[in-house]
Chains A and B, each alone.
Chain A
Amino acid sequence: MASVSLRGIKKQYEKNSVIKGVDLDIADGEFVVFVGPSGCGKSTLLRIIAGLEDITEGTLEIGGRVANDVEPARRGIAMVFQSYALYPHMSVAENMGFALKLAKVPKSEIAERVGRAAEILQIGHLLERKPKALSGGQRQRVAIGRAIVRKPEVFLFDEPLSNLDAALRGQTRVELARLHRELKSTMIYVTHDQVEAMTLGQKIVVLNGGRIEQVGTPSDLYERPANRFVAGFLGSPRMNFFEATLAKQGARSASVTLAGGGQVEVAADVARAQAGARVTLGVRPEHLQLARPGLEGGGIAATVVLVEYLGDVTLVYAQVGEGGEMVAVKTDADSAPPALGSRVELVFPATRAFLFDEDGTVFAPGWVASTTEPLARIP
Chain B
Amino acid sequence: MSVRFHIMRSQLGWTIAAVLASVVLMALWLFPLLWALSTALRPEHETVSAVFHWLPQTWTLDAFTKTLSAGNVPRWLFNSALVAFLVTVVTMAISLMAAYAFSQLRFRGRSLLFGLAMLAFLLPFEALLVPLFRTMHQLGMINSYAGLVLPQVVSPVVIYVFKQFFDAIPADFREAAVMDGANPLRVLWSVYLPISGNIVWAMAIVTFIGAWNNFLWPFIIVTSNDMMTIPLGLTQTYDAFGVRYAQLMAAALLGALPVALAYVVFQRRVTQGFLAASGLKG
Query: Which residue numbers of A lie inside 8 Å of B, CB to CB?
Result: 50-52, 71-74, 77-79, 81-83, 85, 87-89, 98-99, 102-103, 146, 150
Q: Which of B29-37, B151-159, B171-179, B224-232 forms contacts with chain A?
A: B171-179
Complex Cα distance, B194 from A85, in Å, reads 15
Do A52 and B178 form a contact, CB below 8 Å, given A87-B191, A89-B194?
yes
Leading 9 A-B pairs by shortest Cβ distance: A73-B181, A99-B180, A85-B172, A85-B176, A89-B194, A102-B181, A72-B179, A83-B172, A81-B172
Query: How near does chain B come to A104, taking the closest CB pair, in angstroms?
Result: 10
A81 B181 Cβ-Cβ under 8 A: no
Q: Judge whether B124 is part of the interface by a CB distance below 8 angstroms.
A: no
Complex Cα distance, B195 from A89, in Å, reads 7
Do A73 and B172 form a contact, CB below 8 Å, given A88-B195, A89-B194?
no
Grouping DSSP codes into helix (H, G, I), strand (E, B) and loop, the B interface class, with mixed when no group exceeds half, is helix
Complex Cα distance, B173 from A270, in Å, reads 53
In this complex, the member of A74, A87, A150 whose beta carbon has the largest number of chain B beta carbons within 10 angstroms is A87
A52 B191 Cβ-Cβ under 8 A: no
Task: Give the residues from 176 to 230 in chain B that come closer than 8 angstroms, CB to CB, to chain A.
Answer: 176-182, 186, 190-191, 194-195, 197
Complex Cα distance, B172 from A226, in Å, reads 36
B residues less than 8 Å from A71 (CB atoms): 181
Residue of A with least CB distance to B186: A102
Q: Judge whether B282 is part of the interface by a CB distance below 8 angstroms.
A: no
Q: Judge whether B170 is part of the interface by a CB distance below 8 angstroms.
A: yes
Q: A83-B170, A87-B176 are in contact. List 18 more A-B contacts (CB 8 A).
A: A71-B181, A72-B181, A73-B178, A73-B179, A73-B181, A73-B182, A74-B181, A79-B175, A79-B176, A85-B176, A87-B173, A87-B191, A88-B195, A89-B194, A98-B177, A98-B180, A99-B179, A146-B180
Complex Cα distance, B191 from A102, in Å, reads 13
A residues less than 8 Å from B175 (CB atoms): 52, 79, 81, 85
A residues less than 8 Å from B195 (CB atoms): 88-89
Residue of A with least CB distance to B194: A89
B residues less than 8 Å from A83 (CB atoms): 170, 172
Complex Cα distance, B192 from A232, in Å, reads 44
Residue contacts A-B, CB under 8 angstroms, 11 given: A74-B181, A78-B179, A81-B175, A83-B170, A83-B172, A85-B176, A87-B173, A87-B176, A89-B194, A102-B181, A103-B181
